[in-house]
Amino acid sequence: MNQSKTKELVLLAMFIAIEIMLFIVPFLGFIPIGPLRATTMHIPVIVAAIVLGRKQGVIVGFVFGLLSLVINTIQPTATSFIFSPFISGNILSLFEAILPRMAIGYVAGTIYQALRNKNQFIAMIVSAFLGALTNTILVLGGIYVLFGVSYAKALGKSFSELLPYLLGIIATNGMLEAIVGTIIALALSKVLINVYRKEKKYA
Contact 78, 42 (CB under 8 A): no
Which residues, 6+ apart, have CB-to-CB distance to 91 below 8 Å?
Answer: 85
pLDDT at 197: 64
Contact 49, 15 (CB under 8 A): no
pLDDT at 170: 93
Looking at the chain, the whole-number percentage of residues with pLDDT higher than 70 is 96
Q: CA triplet 51, 28, 81: central angle to 5 degrees?
A: 100
Amino acid identity, position 155: L
Contact 43, 54 (CB under 8 A): no
Q: How far apart are alpha carbons 132 and 150 in whole angstroms?
A: 26
Contact 165, 156 (CB under 8 A): no
pLDDT in tens, the chain (203 residues): 577 788 889 999 999 999 999 999 988 999 887 777 889 999 999 999 999 999 999 999 999 999 999 999 999 999 999 999 999 999 999 999 999 999 999 999 999 999 999 999 999 999 999 999 999 999 999 999 999 999 999 999 999 999 999 999 999 989 999 999 999 999 999 888 877 665 554 34
Using only C-alpha atoms, what is the Rg of the chain? Answer: 17
Interhelix angle 120-155/92-115, nearest 10 degrees: 160
100: left (phi over 0), alpha (psi -120 to 50) or beta: alpha
